[in-house]
Structure 1
Amino acid sequence: MANELEGKVAAITGAASGIGLASAEAMMAAGARVVLVDRDERALAALAEKHGAAAIPLKIDLLDPASCATLLDGVLEKAGQLDILHANAGTYIGGDLTETTPETIDRMLNLNVNVVMKNVHSVIPHMIERGTGDIIVTSSVAGHSAIPWEPVYSASKWAMNSFVQAMRRQLNKHGVRVGSVSPGPVISALLADWPEENLRKAKESGSLIEPKEVADAVMFMLTRPRNVTIRDVVVLPTNFDI
């Protein structure tokens, strides 16, 4: 996928690992400069050293409102423009609702819902002014089917699917495309919070996918002709039963 994103600048939240990192590396391979947004300063520095000028580190703590609000200004200061926002950062809690805490619920809903809305809110004036842009949100198959062992997580992703489709219809007249990628279980740090029995069964049955396979779907969405919007891509391991 050589040079299909040449001249474009992307910003990816949660870019230091998992889907965010795989997406960043795919976009850089296609010629984009990528602003890597994460709170892990050490990981960002290592990625900048590895990838050179195409990887632009931007340390932001998305759960800190003042830090989160600096996203667009930070991107413009470092890269001069923004063509692509991949709102990818998120967290996970599963299990029975009675087993979690109100503080954990607040943290997950803030990161999975509020932060995404704030990030999109901050970048769309810039994209509207330029008359072009792409916004992709990392959702989940859990946003399409209510999963009984992850009621809070599923609810957050249902909210994101609603938000994405509303914003797609608001922004298409401005030349800004909006869509979501909805993976099934991905091999990443988030799975550490899965119920142990569910994780064991998934590993044994081959019901997991790699972050790169999600990044491939993101690249498919970004590289369609401008008159084509991929509103949602569901990416599942073949053996995943839902």
Structure 2
Amino acid sequence: MSQAQALAGQVAAITGAASGIGFASAHAMVKAGAQVVLIDRDEAALARACASLGPAAQPLVLDLLDTGQCAGMPERVLAQAGRLDVFHANAGLYVGGNLVDASDDAIDRMLQLNINVVMKNVRGVLPHMIERGSGDIIVTSSLAAHFPTPWEPVYASSKWAINCFVQTVRRQVFKHGIRVGAISPGPVITSLLADWPADKLQEAKASGSLIEASEVAEVVLFMLTRPRGVTIRDIVMMPTQFDL
């Protein structure tokens, strides 16, 4: 089967899909033949994203920080698409800089979306995948999950937690034919970089130490297209010029 049809017949759902890594992942999966449900709270951006991808892309407007909407996500995806083969938990927030400068509200929102929502979303889609005896779950982690990055202690801590979640859940569900893995990119050109400390962002831009979202999506597709007997549990990717 050609790469263009590697996901033919499969249905994927991606959170945070209206832009950045989520949109790039959706684009790659549509090109590979999948039907993709794009989940995001930004209705206008989601409509533009789906229009650009064509009829294989379906929008699902959800605010995952709303407890009720978060809980209803799996049911709404299944009602809309009929089945689910791939779930990419990608939505996230960023808090960088010195801990003493971070507000309680910003910390609460980031930990809720980066950790709690991911856990709830994965828990929500698992019964369907277990019943079918197959599925792929990919979580967008970060290079910060593998290095105690001093300029982003709150964000890095959330990604360390989610990497533990990925590795432990994988051990619980592989017996059901479900693969679970994490993609951990270094700094990617997305809207999240707007929240980086200004000096670090300028340093990365000046040195060419940034990754395109499309490059992350190519690796996600690589993970999804391995033979079923192979799980890519973790991939860390970074710009060649990134000094960490």
- TM class by shorter-chain length? over 0.9
1:55-204 mapped onto 2 (5 Å cutoff): 55-204=57-206
Normalised to the residue count of structure 2, the TM-score between the two structures is 0.98
* Counterpart code for 2:210: L
Whole-angstrom distance in 2 between the partners of 1:16 and 1:49? 11
* Aligned partner (choices 14, 17, 36) of residue 15 of structure 1: 17
Among 16, 24, 46, the alignment partner of 1:44 is 46
Aligned to 1:33: 35
Residues 132-166 of structure 1: CA deviation (Å, up to 9, x unaligned): 00000000010000001100000000001000000
> Secondary structure in 1 aligned to 2:54?
helix
CA distance in 1, matches of 2:196, 2:49: 28
In 2, Cα distance between equivalents of 1:173 and 1:74? 26
1:218 CA drift (Å):
0.3
**Amino acid in the other structure paired with 1:13:** T
What do the CA deviations read for 1:84-111 (whole angstroms, capped 9, x no partner)? 0000000101110000111110000000
Q: Write the distance in 1 (CA, Å) between the matches of 2:231 and 2:53.
A: 30
Residues 50-71 of structure 1, C-alpha deviation per residue, up to 9 Å, x if partnerless? 2222001001100000011111
The one-letter code sitting in structure 2 at the alignment partner of 1:181 is: I
Secondary structure of the equivalent of 1:201?
A: helix
Give, as a single letter, the amino acid of the residue that structure 2 aligns with 1:82.
L
Structure 2 equivalent of residue 216 of structure 1: 218
Q: What runs of 5+ residues in structure 2 fail to find an aligned partner?
A: none
TM-superposed CA distance for 1:44, in Å, is 1.6
Q: CA deviation at 1:48?
A: 2.5
1:183-205 per-position Cα deviation (integer Å, ceiling 9, x unaligned):
00000100011111110010000
Q: Among all aligned residue pairs of Structure 1 and Structure 2, give the percentage whose two residues are the same amino acid.
A: 64
Q: Provide the TM-score with structure 1 as the length reference.
A: 0.99
Whichever residue aligns with residue 39 of structure 1, its letter is: R
For the residues of structure 1 that align with 2:210 and 2:89, how far apart are their CA atoms?
A: 22
Letter in 2 for 1:217: V
4+ runs deviating over 4 angstroms:
none
Which ranges of structure 1 fall in alignment gaps of 5 or more residues? Answer: none
Aligned mates of 2:124, 2:41 — CA distance in 1: 18
State the secondary structure of the residue aligned to 1:217. helix
When the two structures are aligned, how many residues end up with a matched partner?
242
